[in-house]
Amino acid sequence: MAVKSGTEPAVASHIFDWDFVFGHANYWLFIVLMMTGLYIVVARGNLVKKIVGLNIFQVAVFMLYISIGKVTGGTAPIFPLDMKVDPTVVYSNPLPHVLILTAIVVGIATTSLGLALIVRIKEAFDTIEEDELLLIERKLTAADNREHGPAMGGRA
Amino acid sequence: MATAEVEHTARTLADHLPVLQILVPFVAAPLIVLFGNRALAWPLAFIASAIAFVISCLLLAQVIDGGFISYAIGGWAPPLGIEYRVDATNALLLFLISGISTVALPYAFTSIRSEVPKRNHTLFYACYMLCFTGLLGVVITGDAFNVFVFLEISSLSTYVLVAQGAGRDKRALTAAYDYLIMGTIGATFFVIGLGMLYMSTGTLNMADLADRIADQGGNRTIRAAFAFIVVGMGLKVALMPLHLWLPNAYTFAPSAVTVFLAATSTKAAVYVLLRFMFSVYQPPFVFEVNTLYFIFIPFALLAMFVASFVAVFQSDFKRMLAYSSIAQIGYMLLGIAMLNTSGLTATVVHMFNHGITKGVLFMGVGALVLRAGSSFYDSIAGLGRRMPLTGAAIVVGGLSLIGVPGTAGFVSKWMLVQAAFENGFWWIAILVVLSSLLAVAYVWRVFEVIYLKEPAADAPRGDPPLPMLIPMLILAGACLWFGIDTQLTIGAAHTAAESLLEGSFGMAPSAAAVTETLGH
């Protein structure tokens, strides 16, 4: 390790390296958002809320990618028209943004397909609450059991 | 770059085969929608699929003895541009996917007419083509982010295809919704993993990733990325504790869709797992640093036994086969975990053999459903006698599922047992045999139901129409053919296994020089 200069406080004496913690605020937010989204998907019974949770989960990943693209002190990656690039200018990395454009499109497709399915589920089952759906499905399975079960030892 | 005089090299159509493999079905999908004509939809889909099949045969012939084809999309050189890379592993998978699709389409023509409302037919074939494109793309691409894009193309269209079963049973809708939620979580985990890889290596080309990971060794970001990728793909593969979407999706999807999905989609996901474990992360990293030995073997064994056991107690033929699929995924993962040439050969061969075996069985189910209206054991009782050829195809498929000598299933299980003995894991060999006994139990129940039970007096008579019967017989024939003549499958799988175990090929020659200066 490098010898610490006098002006810099000794990091080891603190429990947290606050510069590190605040310097990575967007990564912490990514983790919080990601876990919030995943939690909503798992814990909520309403199908639309699940889709919202899924969206938050995906948007968190967009944030991760965009954070990766940031170069400290970097400017927008737009080259001058004459293409005479000044080698001293630092540019941010545009690639993660491009990747995320694709991921956003995928996210929209997923959301719209999910919502379309919910509309069809509402038409067919007359509910979009997961516990009620499970109840209906259990009844359907029980009906299958009654109809087809006896020949096979009572289970379907 | 632009200033240097570049000698123009003429390219023939043959040089563009890797991209045509994807483009032909990809262009067919919007064409089907644009024509919007029900009569044109099926022929277009079939022609595109047949062309893709021919291309995959040509590609397989080029790489079956080793080596690889590197194709730069749009002429952008690989580490920066997107690369398509065909070697023995993915050429065999391309051959399987396009072959199954070409055989399944004539089957779908009749089957879909009886199971899906007429107004959806045109869009059904468009979705089918998109799903087909996505699966081919996942397998052929050499760019990690491109895998995600194709994965989502295939997954999104798969959810739509599964939901088409709603005409027969409305539970298809909830099955599709559950699959959408779990599939998206899986894909997002995969993307998080890719993000972490990009964070620590700055590249997305698989070969380039492999070189840079080898240089860096394992830091925590790279290891976390590995965990995210394995869990994400595990969801798509239906690795035992992550399999919950599979039984309902397979049971309630239209028969033709189940045929296509069961034979191809989980296999493509297993391929991605293989590719990342062996070509991107090197074997020593995967197995010594992360001791995947102790994670994959238990889960694979769990899948083999628990899923087979559940399958024994089903009374719906289609659902039974869905559980059996989960068990068969266990064999593939077990082959990976053996980490020797025979084990990987077993995995690759089993991907192929299980694809055709499940193809013929689900086709049999579809034929029974067409005649009897459902696939519950009591409604198909005795139908093997009334539908002799369908019954025969189901018997061949069933025997192959068990792994009886002379069928395709035997070849891959034999390789797996051999791999276990090579490692000295004799107990695993015994467990493979024991779980095959469970397969005997559930397959025998089907044989008993369709042959030994008296058919009902009003039971339907006669085999399904020819468009359904011929694909079924072709696949049944393939089950027998690849059980006896193993030159193509074992040959390609062996080449694949050896190249996977060697790790990455590295970048293509021109780019390798650049990487070399950056590396060591």
Alpha-carbon gap: A85 to the closest alpha carbon of chain B (Å): 15
Q: Is residue A44 part of a domain?
A: yes
- Using DSSP, state whether B376 is helix, strand or coil: strand
* Buried residues in B177-196 as b, exposed as e (16+ CB within 10 A): bbbbbbbbbbbbbbbbbbbb
Give the closest of A103, A113, A125 to B180, CB-based.
Answer: A113
Task: Give the separation between CA A40 and CA A38, rounded to whole angstroms.
Answer: 5
Dump pLDDT digits (tens) for B177-199: 999 999 999 999 999 999 999 98
Strand pairing class (B69-72; B83-86): antiparallel
B163 and A117: CB-CB below 8 Å? yes
List of residues 6+ apart from B452 with CB closer than 8 A: none
pLDDT band at A65 (very low <50, low <70, confident <90, very high): very high
pLDDT at B519: 36
The answer for B 140-169 residues in CB contact with A (under 8 A) is: 145, 148-149, 152, 156, 159-160, 163, 166, 169
Q: Is residue A30 part of a domain?
A: yes
Task: Give the separation between CA B250 and CA B242, rounded to whole angstroms.
Answer: 15
* Nearest one of A27, A105, A13, A38 to A66, comparing CA atoms: A27
A133 and B173: CB-CB below 8 Å? no
Give the closest of B148, B188, B377 to A57, CB-based.
Answer: B188
Share above pLDDT 90 across residues of chain A, in percent, rounded to a whole number: 51
Structure tokens at B390: 């369908």
Q: Is residue A134 part of a domain?
A: yes
Classify residue A109 as exposed, middle or buried by CB count within 10 Å of its CB (0-12, 13-18, 19+): middle
The pLDDT of A109-126, averaged and rounded, is 95
Residue ranges of chain B whose pLDDT lies below 50: 1-2, 509-520
Q: Is residue A76 part of a domain?
A: no
pLDDT at B38: 85
List of residues 6+ apart from B488 with CB closer than 8 A: B64, B482
* Nearest one of B413, B451, B411, B450 to B433, comparing CA atoms: B413
Pair B294, B424: CB distance under 8 Å:
no
Structure tokens at B184: 């998206």
Report the CATH number that the domain containing residue A146 is assigned in CATH.
1.10.287.3510
A118 and B177: CB-CB below 8 Å? yes
Pair A103, B191: CB distance under 8 Å:
yes
Q: Which amino acid is at B481?
A: W
Pair B322, B362: CB distance under 8 Å:
no
Q: How crowded is residue B393: how many other Cβ atoms within 10 Å of its Cβ?
A: 26
Q: Which amino acid is at A51?
A: I
pLDDT at A75: 84
* Nearest one of B337, B340, B280 to B504, comparing CA atoms: B280
Let me know how long chain B is: 520
Task: Give the separation between CA B516 and CA B293, rounded to whole angstroms.
Answer: 32
Q: Which secondary structure element, helix H or strand E, spans residue B335, and what is its range?
A: helix B317-338
- Using DSSP, state whether B100 is helix, strand or coil: helix
Structural domain that includes position A65: 22-71+92-151
Structure tokens at B295: 């994670």
- Using DSSP, state whether B248 is helix, strand or coil: helix
A96 touches B at CB < 8 Å: yes
Structure tokens at B459: 């039971």
Q: Which amino acid is at B306?
A: V
Q: Which amino acid is at B34?
A: L
Residue with tokens 């059904």: B124
A76: left (phi over 0), alpha (psi -120 to 50) or beta: beta
Pair B116, B163: CB distance under 8 Å:
no
Write the DSSP symbol of residue A129: B
Q: In B326-380, where do the E strands start and end? A: none
Alpha-carbon gap: A18 to the closest alpha carbon of chain B (Å): 21
Q: Is residue A116 part of a domain?
A: yes
Task: Give the separation between CA B96 and CA B136, rounded to whole angstroms.
Answer: 10
Task: Give the separation between CA B32 and CA B13, rounded to whole angstroms.
Answer: 24
Q: Which secondary structure element, helix H or strand E, spans residue B223, and what is its range?
A: helix B220-237
Helices (H), B373-387: 383-386
pLDDT at A2: 41
For an interface test with B, the pick among A97, A148, A155 (most B C-beta atoms closer than 10 Å) comes out as A148
For an interface test with A, the pick among B188, B196, B221, B316 (most A C-beta atoms closer than 10 Å) comes out as B188
Q: What are the angstrom distances between the C-alpha of B134 and each of A112, B128, B141, B153, B265? A: 19, 10, 11, 5, 10
**Angle subtended by helix axes B88-115 and B38-63, to nearest 10:** 160
Task: Give the separation between CA B191 and CA B80, rounded to whole angstroms.
Answer: 19
Give the closest of B173, B185, B313 to A121, CB-based.
Answer: B173
Task: Give the separation between CA A156 and CA B313, rounded to whole angstroms.
Answer: 8
Pair B397, B364: CB distance under 8 Å:
yes
Task: Give the separation between CA B328 and CA A21, rounded to whole angstroms.
Answer: 46
B171 and A137: CB-CB below 8 Å? yes
pLDDT at B260: 95
Q: Which secondary structure element, helix H or strand E, spans residue B70, and what is its range?
A: strand B69-72
pLDDT at B504: 65
Q: Which secondary structure element, helix H or strand E, spans residue A33, and what is its range?
A: helix A25-43
Backbone angles phi and psi of A87, in degrees to 5:
-65, -15
Work out how many domains chain A is built from and give that number: 1
List of residues 6+ apart from B127 with CB closer than 8 A: B29, B157, B160, B161
pLDDT at B351: 94
Pair B250, B264: CB distance under 8 Å:
no
Q: What are the angstrom distances between the C-alpha of A154 and each of A68, B313, B453? A: 57, 11, 17
β-bridge mates for residue A76, sequence order: none
pLDDT at B4: 54
Task: Give the separation between CA B403 and CA B483, rounded to whole angstroms.
Answer: 9
pLDDT at B511: 42
Q: Is residue A17 part of a domain?
A: no
Considering Cα of A67, then A70, then A72, then A76, what sign does the dihedral take?
negative
pLDDT at B73: 86
Task: Give the separation between CA A23 and CA B145, rounded to whole angstroms.
Answer: 27
Q: How crowded is residue B352: how many other Cβ atoms within 10 Å of its Cβ?
A: 26
Backbone angles phi and psi of A129, in degrees to 5:
-90, 130
Q: Helix %, strand %, coil % for chain B, to 5?
A: 80, 0, 20
